[in-house]
Chains A and B, each alone.
Chain A
Amino acid sequence: DAGITQSPRYKITETGRQVTLMCHQTWSHSYMFWYRQDLGHGLRLIYYSAAADITDKGEVPDGYVVSRSKTENFPLTLESATRSQTSVYFCASSPNKTPNTEAFFGQGTRLTVV
């Protein structure tokens, strides 16, 4: 009963490097989301996916790439990390997207770009 797991939990990378954050869910939820959490901003949506091979941009997609070849995985890639991408990243999933359906969150990945 793992639920939704993110890896790594902590990551330090250098400016300009590519880094991938992993997200895996065991519920077979259709919808998956990536958020970033920054002080004073709450959570902002980066990308979301309605199903395998279907992804779309959220509020702050620039500098990020996602893919979803399998329902259970939704990796987030920073193509060339910048200091402004230092943040806590949360992956979430939802069984469907009727408006009253809540999201289930992973424990987060704290990324520091130096």
Chain B
Amino acid sequence: AQSVTQLGSHVSVSEGALVLLRCNYSSSVPPYLFWYVQYPNQGLQLLLKYTSAATLVKGINGFEAEFKKSETSFHLTKPSAHMSDAAEYFCAVSDTGGFKTIFGAGTRLFVKA
């Protein structure tokens, strides 16, 4: 069964600092991986997705993620945090049948001024 694990339920960075949110997946087949962001009192929206075309995926708002098969990871990064990046971030994987998306537990990002 496929699964994702997000390391760290909370991450705190200073404004302007590097953002690194960790995600490891478990899959017996090439995975389809996603990062979603949830702002307070809102639904989730797609940040980026990996679909095997390129290992480095660029998303919205300056975020990117690198797929590393050897490490079974899909970590999310942003070079310089903004206050507006404060939100909860979810890593997700599509199951082999393609019918369901399996979400990680989420990482809440805090950005300090």
Listed in ascending order, the chain A residues whose CB lies under 8 Å from chain B are 4, 31, 33, 35, 40-45, 48, 50, 56, 58, 90, 92, 97-103, 105-108
Contact = CB atoms under 8 A, between A and B. Distances in A.
Given A42-B103, A42-B104, A50-B99, A106 B43 contact: yes
Contacts, number: 61
A56 B100 CA distance: 11
Interface of B: 6, 9, 32, 34, 36, 41-46, 49, 51, 90, 94-96, 98-106
A105 B46 CA distance: 9
A98 B98 CA distance: 5
14 contacts: A33-B101, A35-B103, A40-B9, A42-B6, A42-B104, A42-B105, A92-B43, A98-B98, A99-B96, A100-B49, A100-B94, A102-B36, A108-B41, A108-B42
B105 to A, nearest CB: 4
